């Protein structure tokens, strides 16, 4: 009976085999250390202090230049060094456009601009400097945590300092990266 109505006849069944006993949950004991650093992790050799490289002034983590093999590398025409391949193994949606000429990923209005430009001309498409997305992430894809934070300031801006187009395109590029992840 549910709410005073009978919906179906109750049937009792027994699954085949043995029932698994309810597991016993064991909570590890809480260790209270007498000192704030019981393992001595904050201690260092005096000889190591001279070998440390100082962090950059913008507090960005040091970049060792390592590019994971999974993503691959690419040297766009005219570039002097290799860089990460921003095609993401073509895992992005059909709302994004990857330019192999500039190794850039475009979303929003630049998708049609870039594809039209590269269809008619042999050079790579360069987005206008007025787009805050491509000022903060020149290839359309942030290269480090600092550039991601710069892009998030575009989305979280409550003072409306940036255009709606900039915030929409930034949201779309971060959505592409989220979906790939």
Q: Is residue 27 part of a domain?
A: no
Bridge partners for 97 per DSSP: 106
Q: Is residue 4 part of a domain?
A: no
d(CA 138, CA 146): 13
- Enter the DSSP assignment of 69: T
pLDDT recorded at residue 174: 92
In this model, does residue 45 exceed pLDDT 80? no
In this model, does residue 91 exceed pLDDT 70? yes
pLDDT (mean) for 167-177: 91
Q: Is residue 5 part of a domain?
A: no
Q: Is residue 134 part of a domain?
A: yes
pLDDT (mean) for 81-107: 87
Q: Is residue 131 part of a domain?
A: yes
- Note the pLDDT tens digit of each residue in 101-149: 888 999 998 999 999 999 999 888 988 888 888 888 888 888 888 888 9
d(CA 82, CA 69): 13
Q: Into how many domains does the chain fold?
A: 1
Q: Is residue 65 part of a domain?
A: no
pLDDT recorded at residue 117: 94
pLDDT recorded at residue 71: 74
Enclosing domain of residue 102:
73-180
The structure's pTM equals: 0.60
In this model, does residue 170 exceed pLDDT 80? yes
Q: Is residue 38 part of a domain?
A: no
In this model, does residue 23 exceed pLDDT 70? no
pLDDT recorded at residue 107: 92
Q: Is residue 47 part of a domain?
A: no
Nearest Cα neighbor of 154 from 143, 145, 163, 144 is 163
């Amino acid at each position: 009976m549910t709410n005073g109505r009978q919906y179906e006849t109750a049937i009792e069944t027994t699954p085949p085999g043995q029932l698994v006993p309810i597991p016993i949950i064991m909570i590890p004991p809480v260790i209270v250390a007498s000192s704030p650093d019981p393992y001595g992790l904050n201690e260092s050799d005096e000889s190591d202090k001279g070998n440390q490289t100082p962090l950059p002034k913008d507090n960005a983590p040091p970049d060792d230049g390592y590019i994971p093999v999974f993503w691959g590398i690419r040297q766009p025409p005219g570039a002097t060094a290799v860089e990460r391949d921003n095609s993401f193994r073509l895992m992005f949606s059909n709302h994004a456009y990857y330019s192999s000429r500039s190794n850039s990923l475009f979303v929003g209005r630049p998708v049609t601009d870039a594809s039209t430009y590269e269809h008619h001309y042999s050079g790579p498409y360069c987005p206008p400097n007025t787009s805050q997305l491509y000022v903060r992430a020149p290839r359309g894809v942030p290269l480090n945590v600092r550039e991601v934070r710069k892009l998030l300031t575009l989305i979280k801006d409550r003072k409306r300092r940036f255009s709606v187009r900039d915030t929409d395109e930034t949201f779309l590029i971060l959505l592409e990266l989220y979906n790939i992840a």
